[in-house]
Structure 1
Amino acid sequence: MTVKIRKIVTVVEETMQEAGREIAPPTRRAAALAVIANPFADRYEADLEVLMQIGEELGGLLGEKAVAALGVAPSKIESYGKAAIVGEGGELEHAAALLHPRMGKPLRQAVEKGAALVPSSKKMGGIGSAIDVPLGHKDAAYVRSHFDGMEVRVPDAPRRGEIVVAIAVTDSGRPLPRVGGLTTAEVKGEDGLR
């Protein structure tokens, strides 16, 4: 393994009531976060290949941990997203190298399929910074009931020279969705849009 991980945090959120109404079954989201060493902290590096490799490793590792946290089969995952917070001494491009070139393929394997683009977010931040992991339906971007986000943070990270990398998944959409659009029953999952 290329990545140096200080800690992994897994969070599960279940919404059982919304607007005074019972949500049955509850809507559920899980996130798996890794606090990793930034191999390029405090220096400029033109070739970010190492971070791309780390992103690939984390796509599978964190994707599998998030799915396992929900306790469902990978095929039951409905939406996904990814995010990173780069700590002091790093740069935003380090998050881009982790999240974009190679993280998607192993994440898609962890959730079975994933025809749609994986929504992502990145920022610079210090210890305890929170980030919203954007969520979208894994097979069809036009499913409005799954336009969502999950706020996550690690209380003691990222420290100087660290990056927090997060993957979030759900087994449902938002509670009480009612803004129309494509439904999950109508998803074809062929072009990533519908």
Structure 2
Amino acid sequence: MTDPTIRTQTVIESTTYRDGERALADPVTKAAAAAVIDNPYAGEWQEDLSLLTEWGADLGGRLATAAVDRLGGPETVEGYGKGGIVGTEGELEHVAAMLHPELGTPLREAVGGGEAIIPSAKKRGGPGTCLDVPTHYKDEAYVRTHYDAMPVRIEDAPAADELVLIVVATDGGRPHPRIGGLQIDELED
């Protein structure tokens, strides 16, 4: 396997201390790790996208580790998500090939578990395109307190012939959740 050509790699951290009229008893931090890479199939049809799948597993695993490390390690992670943006000369399927077939295993390893499906989003766009990467609780898909997203934007990416791969990890759910549904403390071990 040839390695992807990485132009930039970024880790973005956002901590919420207050939402609306109240401070949070426990601030919530979200960390996104993103890599901007050359798209080898920009502007051309390629039937076999297995190279992108391999890159998604390898690079996605490294990004997951970077996001988790920013939060302080796997024991702090409660939520996760993944996403990607393909430049205008590429196809959504290019970023889907990186996100879906193989990235889940290394992401779950990085967060120390992850029984729930990993929510994802993908988009086509140019430099500065913002992607709201969906997140939810890593071990149970129906923990409503953790249905959220993290907006991720790389100012100068993707160029028309690039891909942006993004992994998000969180150490909590939404601020002040109170719409009901399954709560973390109701989960059975």
TM-score, structure 2 normalization:
0.96
Aligned partners of 1:39 and 1:97: how far apart in 2?
13
Which residue of structure 1 aligns with residue 158 of structure 2? 158
> What residue number does 2:66 align with?
65
Aligned: 1:147 with 2:147: yes
Report the Cα distance in structure 2 between the residues aligned to 1:23 and 1:93, rounded to whole angstroms: 40
Q: Secondary structure at 1:13's aligned position in 2?
A: strand
Are the equivalent residues in 2 in contact too, given 1:86–1:92 (CA < 8 A)? Answer: yes
Question: 1:18: Cα distance to partner?
Answer: 1.1
Hey, what does 1:192 align to over in structure 2?
none
* Structure 2, unpaired ranges of 5+: none
Contact 1:139/1:187 (8 A) holds in 2: no
> Is residue 59–residue 105 contact of structure 1 (8 Å, CA) maintained in 2?
no
Match in the other structure for 1:37: 38
Matched, 1:86 2:86: yes
Give the secondary structure class of the aligned counterpart of 1:35.
Answer: strand
Measure, in 2, the Cα distance between the counterparts of 1:99 and 1:35. 14
Q: Secondary structure at the match of 1:165?
A: strand
- Alignment of 1:48 with 2:49, yes or no, is yes
- Aligned counterparts of 2:138 and 2:75: Cα–Cα separation in 1: 10
Counterparts of 1:108-187 in structure 2 under 5 Å?
108-187=108-187
Query: RMSD value over aligned CA atoms?
Result: 1.1
Amino acid of the residue matched to residue 57 of structure 2? Answer: E
- Contact (CA 8 Å) 2:11, 2:67: kept in 1 or not? yes
By how many angstroms is 1:180 displaced?
1.1
**Residue 12 of structure 1 corresponds to which residue in structure 2?**
13
Q: Distance in 2 between matches of 1:180 and 1:36?
A: 41
Task: For 1:55 and 1:101, locate their aligned partners in 2 and report how far apart those are by CA, in whole Å.
Answer: 8
Q: Which residue in the other structure is 1:2 paired with? A: 3
Letter of the 2:110 partner, please give it.
A
Unmatched tracts of structure 1, length 5 or more: 190-194
- Pairwise CA distance, 1:181: 1.3
Q: Is the 8 A contact 1:87 1:158 kept in 2?
A: yes
Displacement of 1:92 in angstroms is: 0.6
3-state secondary structure, aligned to 1:95: helix
**CA distance, structure 2, for counterparts of residue 91 and residue 120 of structure 1:** 16
Supply the distance in 1 between the matched residues of 2:5 and 2:69 (Cα, whole angstroms): 22
**Number of aligned pairs?**
188
Q: Tell me how far 1:27 sits from its aligned partner.
A: 1.0
2:85 and 2:163 in contact (8 A); partners too: yes
Return the offset for 1:171.
0.4
Partner-residue secondary structure (3-state), 1:32: strand
CA distance in 1, matches of 2:158, 2:31: 20
Q: CA deviation at 1:55?
A: 0.5
Distance 1:89 1:157 in 2: 13
